[in-house]
Amino acid sequence: MPHSLTANGFMGLDSALPPWTSVRKIVQAEATTASASESPDQRRARLMAAAQSGDRRAYERVLADSILLIRVAARRQGVAADRLDDVVQETLITVNRVRHTYDPSRSYDAWLTAIANRRAIDALRSRGRRDSRELHDDFAFDNHADLADASAATEQLQRAQRLRAAIAELPPGQREAVEQMGLHERSLSEAAELTGRNTGALKVNLHRALKALRERFNGEP
Amino acid sequence: MRRLPPPSVRTVGWLLVVAAFAVVLLMHYGITGMQQRFVGTPDLAWAGVGAVLTAVSAAWAAFALSVPGRRAAWAWLPLPGALLWIGASGLGCLRQTVLQVTAPGTAVSTAHQSVDCLVFIIAFSIPLSVLMVFLLRRAYPLRPVLTAVLVGLASAAASASLLEICHAYDAAATDLLTHAAAVALVVAVNAAMGGRLLSKA
């Protein structure tokens, strides 16, 4: 997707340019037919000089041939792989705008690399600015994952406090039944033994206590 | 598409405007006063040569740096001229202060008169800087602030060179300080404003 954006972004400027895929084929054909004595830099310089004179095919070839150089320059500047296409696009737009500044007696690669370096640094800076404003998901998760747990723990604590307060407000018999059998998890007979009440009274008291608590918290009768 | 002329050609173009200013000033003030000063006290002549060399080399460096792919080391080109300019001016100051030899047809300026030099340098630097920034904007300076510093240096040095035509004050400390302040001001304003004017998104 980013690659098609690259092509389209540039196509907007110069609609006569074919998609890069077809240009690549032309360049490969050109590379195989280039004379052995000519270095790639010299070939690009010759093509760019022709482009400055209005040779559209030469311009298409030299631009397509520049993409790899731009990517290498951007990589060297430390641009991440997923941002390389953006730098290629920005550099090609700049090249199109300032192509009159190229001096054919000098290295095309040096000229292009200087522009690509600048655009790469721009990309790194804009990335830096964005990173200082925004949080990445994984970063947020690593640093703030406990936030939800902390609020849940507080809620649970508050619920327990409310329950304890409600139990404290129960009549003494019911409170005793809940404490012994509900909170301390004692059996009916153990509770009867500890409180000195008979099991039937404890059962009734526990039943009434639970009903009262349920009414209080859930609004059920 | 019109190809950008090489830095040397663009430098000559800018220097022609400076030369036009010089011709107008020479027609107005004549050449004899300057000749007398330069023959009587060669250090003033050397300082003038240094200022001219600084103007030419700084302009050339600025035009060279405005083309992508040129090395940043171009920024050092004005250094020899600047050293000659500063060194000869310093020698002139020593001659005037220690040996008490004043250049023919000159006086030691008062603080008030020194302000005239300041105004002269700044007044000529403004059109020269504006012209150079305009010329550089057709190119693509990848180091806008460094280029703007060189624009300021070239303009200030050219203005100081023009000032030599009608400069009836000797190289005393007050005068030199005023010149230095004017050059520093022009360079600083160019660096602050020119950098923004020259940087293209």
Rounded-to-integer distance, Cα B146 and Cα B65, Å:
9
B142/A99 CB distance under 8 A: no
B4/A101 CB distance under 8 A: yes
Chain A residues lying within 8 Å of B66, measured CB to CB: 101
Rounded-to-integer distance, Cα A19 and Cα A8, Å:
8
What is the sign of the dihedral through the CA atoms of A45, A50, A51 and A55? negative
What distance in Å separates residue A74's CA from the closest CA in chain B?
A: 15
A103/B68 CB distance under 8 A: no
Chain B residues lying within 8 Å of A115, measured CB to CB: 68, 140, 142
A113 touches chain B (CB under 8 A): yes
For residue A215, give every residue at least 6 positions away whose Cβ sits within 8 Å of its Cβ, in sequence order, or none.
A221
Q: Is the ipTM of this complex over 0.85?
A: no
pLDDT mean over B12-31: 94
Q: Which residue has the higher pLDDT, A14 or A115?
A: A115
Chain A residues lying within 8 Å of B6, measured CB to CB: 103
B185 by DSSP, 3-state: which?
Answer: helix
Q: Which residue has the higher pLDDT, B160 or A23?
A: B160
> How many other C-beta atoms are found inside a 10 Å radius of the C-beta of residue A103?
21
Res. B131: pLDDT tops 80? yes
pLDDT mean over A72-81: 93
Q: Counting runs of H as helices and runs of E as strands, what totals does chain B give?
A: 8, 0
Rounded-to-integer distance, Cα A13 and Cα A9, Å:
7
Taking the alpha carbons at both ends of chain A, their separation in whole angstroms is 62
Burial B144-153 (b: 16+ CB within 10 A, else e): bbbbbbbbbb
A106 touches chain B (CB under 8 A): yes
What is the pLDDT at residue A126?
Answer: 87
pTM score > 0.80 for this model? no
| DSSP of B124-154 | HHHHHHHHHHHHHHTS--SSHHHHHHHHHHH
What is the pLDDT at residue A119?
Answer: 94
- Residue A146, sorted as left (phi over 0), alpha (psi -120 to 50) or beta, turns out to be alpha
For residue A38, give every residue at least 6 positions away whose Cβ sits within 8 Å of its Cβ, in sequence order, or none.
A46
What is the sign of the dihedral through the CA atoms of A54, A60, A66 and A70? positive
Res. A101: pLDDT tops 70? yes
> How many other C-beta atoms are found inside a 10 Å radius of the C-beta of residue B13?
14
DSSP 8-class letter at B171: -
Rounded-to-integer distance, Cα B124 and Cα B167, Å:
14
SS3 labels along chain A: CHHHHHHHHHHHHCCCCCCHHHHHHHHHHHHHHCCCCCCHHHHHHHHHHHHHCCCHHHHHHHHHHHHHHHHHHHHHHCCCHHHHHHHHHHHHHHHHHHHHHCCCCCCHHHHHHHHHHHHHHHHHHHHHHHHHHCCCHHHHHHHHCHHHHHHHHHHHHHHHHHHHHHHHCCCHHHHHHHHHHHHCCCCHHHHHHHHCCCHHHHHHHHHHHHHHHHHHHHCCC
Which of B3, B66, B70 shows the shortest C-beta gap to A52? B3
A99/B1 CB distance under 8 A: yes
B1/A52 CB distance under 8 A: yes
pLDDT in tens, A147-160: 556 777 788 888 88
Over chain A, what is the mean pLDDT? 80
What is the pLDDT at residue A148?
Answer: 59
Which of B6, B68, B138 shows the shortest C-beta gap to A111? B68
A99 touches chain B (CB under 8 A): yes
